[in-house]
Amino acid sequence: MDALRVGIIGLGTVGASVAQILQEQSARMSLRSGREIRLVRAAVRDLTRSRGVQLSASALTTDPMVVARAPDVDVVVELMGGLHPAREAVLAALQSGKDVVTANKALLCEHGGELFRAAREAVKKAKADVRAAQQPLDKIEGAEALVGHAKGKWLGGAAKGIAEAEAELKAAADAAAAEKALEPVKEEE
């Protein structure tokens, strides 16, 4: 199973602690979840501030929308607090088909209805995408069944043709042997 790739928006006290746990306890979490959990991106206010978290410079950004929309992030953990740009980042993540984790009470109180609607829409879209992807697969499976059926008939026909040819050859060989047996024996002088 592929790794679960996490992006954190906000590496303050709580965000940095979550990031450290993700990094330090990754083996333990992987054993429990059956899947590797990897911190791949983070959005911060200040790129120069030390946080005690090991992330490459390319994994850090000051733009929360980069994390929310990143194709290499499966789950966005919003830990920046406040209403803006937290609301916009959470909505962007949901619209990008990502799972979102937040404990931002102010955000949930003020915009919870909108966020939950967006989450429901994301689930509906994901289900529709799965159904849409299933239709061509069903057609492919149907085509494979037809090909298999036709191939079976062809092979059956080919096998019948081979058997008939073998029978004809055997009959010809038997006839040749019988003819040879009827030939008069030449006496040696």
Q: 0.75 cut: is pTM over it?
A: no
Please name which of 36, 40, 57 lies closest in space to residue 48, comparing C-alpha atoms.
57
- Please indicate whether residue 183 or residue 75 has the higher confidence score (pLDDT): 75
Q: Where residue 83 falls among pLDDT bands split at 50, 70, 90?
A: very high
Is the pLDDT at 186 greater than 70? The verdict is no
Q: What average pLDDT does the segment 109-116 reach? A: 94
Confidence of residue 38 (pLDDT cuts 50, 70, 90): very high
Contact between 37 and 8 under an 8 Å Cβ cutoff? The reply is no
Nearest to 64 by CA among 35, 32, 87: 87
